[in-house]
């Protein structure tokens, strides 16, 4: 495969010097882009878009045509693994993902089989290969998965939840079936991410969207321990290159030290955690990724520039920072605002490096 022309993102994850702070954006290929909406309409529905290799490659590349991002991220969904387990994933307009067959008792969990990616999710690895070829070394490609805890919340609740009542009753009741579910999911994620790496992903991120809904003790036991198991079983290198791992727990800044000890190269932060304090807490143990509130992109151009500068000043002229939003970009953002955001990160971070 082609040598990388822009390796800022990978260098930052390894806490090496860079000429400017690398930037990518969670959900950077998504509904805020009119070209994405057009391609999705052509596909028919969201999962058909994910499963169409050419179209998944097309939408992955779309934001790179508009903005000078330092990484591409595979276009897919965190719920591909439970879908491959046969739970009947479908999307309800205005409500999001739903499962026809949620797993809500020990018998249902016992029946689940650990996935084999090359058998069950070939459309994902096909997309990774196609995107790597299309990128031709332009920027690195990020692969990803949901965390076991986050996947389990959808599988047990049957879809999104505000209070996680069903799964939390398992946390605080007979937790043995939940641990079995999380272990099967961890084994599946290991296989899934390693398959993505073998297909060409140059870094991987684990999205723990709902870890922040847990207490500290429950977070360690039911979320972080399983992510740590995944990290320790991923390919450390492939094709002669190190494969960095990013852990992102939304709402997890209070457990930063514990997350930093889980073995990943970088920790993603949402906007509720100070970058300056986070760097002081973990030193140079891990790189940090984040962490602008996506809502800032609804503001004026000057408000966006001001917040970008504040965050970059907050981090300071230190290695090991990847700029990102604190969570995914929301659908109603004006694409022009993203241009302001990206340009300011790049221009201002260059000034900091040269100071």
Q: Among all residues, which ones are annotated catalytic?
A: 27, 31, 40, 77, 154
Strands 245-249 and 203-208: parallel
Q: Which of 24, 171, 47 is nearest to 99 (CA)?
A: 47
Q: Which of 161, 144, 141 is nearest to 152 (CA)?
A: 161
Q: Which of 2, 73, 64, 56 is nearest to 239 (CA)?
A: 2
CB 256 within 8 A of CB 267: yes
CB 189 within 8 A of CB 81: yes
Quote the radius of gyration of the chain (alpha carbons, Å): 19
Neighbours of 100 (CB within 10 A): 10
Q: Kindly tell me the sign of the dihedral angle through the C-alpha atoms of 122, 123, 127, 133.
A: positive
Burial of 301 (0-12, 13-18, 19+ CB in 10 A): middle
Residue 345 CA from chain centroid, whole number: 20
Which string of DSSP letters, residue by residue, matches 58-100? HHHHHHHHHS--S-EE----TTHHHHHTT--EEEETTTEEEES
| DSSP one-letter code for 331 | T
Report angle CA 273, 275, 277 to the nearest 5 degrees.
80
Residue 197 CA from chain centroid, whole number: 15
């Amino acid at each position: 495969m082609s040598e990388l022309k822009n390796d800022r993102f990978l260098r930052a994850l390894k806490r090496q010097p860079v000429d400017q702070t690398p930037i990518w954006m969670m959900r950077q290929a998504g509904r805020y882009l009119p070209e994405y909406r057009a391609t999705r309409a052509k596909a028919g529905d969201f999962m058909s878009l994910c499963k169409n290799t050419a179209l998944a490659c097309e939408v992955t590349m779309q934001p790179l045509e508009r903005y000078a991002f330092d990484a591409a991220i595979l276009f897919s969904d965190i719920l591909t693994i439970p879908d491959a387990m046969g739970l009947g994933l479908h999307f309800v307009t205005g409500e999001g993902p739903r499962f026809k067959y949620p797993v809500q008792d020990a018998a249902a969990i016992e029946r689940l089989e650990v996935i084999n990616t090359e058998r069950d999710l070939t459309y994902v690895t096909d997309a990774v290969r196609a995107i790597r070829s299309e990128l031709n070394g332009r920027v690195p490609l990020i692969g990803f998965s949901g965390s076991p805890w986050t996947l389990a919340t959808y599988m047990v609740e049957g879809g999104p939840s505000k209070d996680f009542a069903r799964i939390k009753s398992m946390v605080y009741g007979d937790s043995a079936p939940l641990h079995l579910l999380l272990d099967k999911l961890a084994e599946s994620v290991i296989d899934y991410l390693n398959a993505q790496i073998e297909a060409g992903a140059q870094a991987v991120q684990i999205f723990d969207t709902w870890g922040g809904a847990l207490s500290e003790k429950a977070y360690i036991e039911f979320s972080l321990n399983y992510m740590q198991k995944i990290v320790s079983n991923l390919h450390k290198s492939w094709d002669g290159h190190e494969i960095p791992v990013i852990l992102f727990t939304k709402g997890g800044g209070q457990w930063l030290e514990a997350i930093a000890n889980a073995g990943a190269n970088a920790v993603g932060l949402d906007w509720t955690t100070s970058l300056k304090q986070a760097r002081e807490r973990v030193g140079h143990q891990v790189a940090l990724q984040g962490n602008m509130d996506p809502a800032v992109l609804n503001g004026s151009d000057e408000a966006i520039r001001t917040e970008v500068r504040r965050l970059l000043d907050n981090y300071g002229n230190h290695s090991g920072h990847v700029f990102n939003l604190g969570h995914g970009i929301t659908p109603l953002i004006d694409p022009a605002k993203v241009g302001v955001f990206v340009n300011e990160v790049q221009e201002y971070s260059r000034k900091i490096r040269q100071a």
